[in-house]
Amino acid sequence: MPIDPRLLFLMRRAFEAKNERFKGIKTRFLDIGCADGSFIKAVLDSGGCGVEIDGVDVPSRWLKAASAESECSIYIQDLQKGIGGMEAGRYHIATMWEVIEHVENVHEFLRNVSALLAPGGMAMLSSPNLLSLSRFIKGDRWVGTSEQDHKYLFDAKSLRMVLSRAGFRDIDVKGVFLPSMGPFFDWGNKLLSKSPGGGMLLAKAFKSELT
């Protein structure tokens, strides 16, 4: 089954962040909300590039399939309620692709994500952008509001706020217009990211070096 090109876009951004922050270090990734393991599979199929990757999610039929097929550790844990038996401070990078909009208790969720990160570790996440041009064009058909499982929606300012209040620092949030268009268009996203109207928010934020 082909991998969603948006996940490949996000994988390229995650590897860029790894090379900027953890170059030459065996980097431990945690994919939060890993579902059927598609992102984990994409990372492993890429050759890993100096990466170890685990996954975590709440119980679902997708997670069951991921656990059966994956060679890495897949944890069943609701991070709104704690980190359970997972190892605190283990991971360099936590990815949350299209997850935070599904979370009821965002503050506790992000605090527990922070607990799983090593000092100086990085959280990376994506989410529908409340100020996207597609929202105004599509109206009620826009995925942010048409998806019944979405609890909250964010713009860049509100996403920075919740990350900051959960204790993250050096927060960067950008809009993305062309996540499905392949590597050739990555330059276009960098150029357009100064505009607030991209359909996808892409954020990265750091845990304090001192915690």
Q: Is residue 211 part of a domain?
A: no
Least confident of 18-22, 87-91, 117-121: 18-22
pLDDT score at 45: 85
29, 51 contact by CB (below 8 A): yes
Q: Is residue 57 part of a domain?
A: yes
pLDDT score at 94: 98
- 30-74 per-position pLDDT tens digit: 999 998 889 998 898 887 668 899 999 998 776 766 665 667 889
Highest-confidence segment of 60-64, 168-172, 192-196: 168-172
Q: Mean pLDDT, to the nearest integer, of 186-206?
A: 74
Q: Mean pLDDT, to the nearest integer, of 83-97?
A: 97
- Check residues 22 and 67 and name the one with the higher pLDDT: 22
Q: What is the rounded distance in angstroms from the CA atom of residue 66 to the CA atom of residue 37? A: 5
The structural domain count of the chain equals 1
Confidence of residue 132 (pLDDT cuts 50, 70, 90): confident
Tell me which amino acid residue 193 is: S
pLDDT at residue 211 tops 60: no
Q: Is residue 186 part of a domain?
A: yes
Confidence of residue 3 (pLDDT cuts 50, 70, 90): confident
Q: What is the rounded distance in angstroms from the CA atom of residue 50 to the CA atom of residue 29? A: 10
Q: Is residue 128 part of a domain?
A: yes
Q: Mean pLDDT, to the nearest integer, of 175-185?
A: 69
Q: Mean pLDDT, to the nearest integer, of 191-205?
A: 76
Q: Is residue 140 part of a domain?
A: yes
pLDDT at residue 148 tops 90: no
pLDDT score at 208: 81
Could you tell me the two tokens for 41? 């599979």
Q: Mean pLDDT, to the nearest integer, of 1-9?
A: 79
Q: Is residue 117 part of a domain?
A: yes
Confidence of residue 127 (pLDDT cuts 50, 70, 90): very high
Domain limits for position 141: 5-206
Q: Would you mind telling me the total number of residues written for the chain in this entry?
A: 211
CA-wise closest residue to 156 among 178, 183, 180, 176: 176
pLDDT at residue 1 tops 60: no
* 70: region left, alpha or beta (phi > 0 left; psi from -120 to 50 alpha): beta
Tell me which amino acid residue 78 is: D
84, 77 contact by CB (below 8 A): yes
Q: What is the rounded distance in angstroms from the CA atom of residue 111 to the CA atom of residue 167? A: 7
pLDDT at residue 196 tops 80: no
CATH number at residue 107: 3.40.50.150
CA-wise closest residue to 197 among 174, 173, 180, 175: 175
Q: Classify residue 45 by burial, with Cβ atoms within 10 Å: 0-12, 13-18, 19+.
A: exposed
Confidence of residue 120 (pLDDT cuts 50, 70, 90): very high
Cα 70 to chain centroid distance, Å, stands at 19
Tell me which amino acid residue 126 is: S
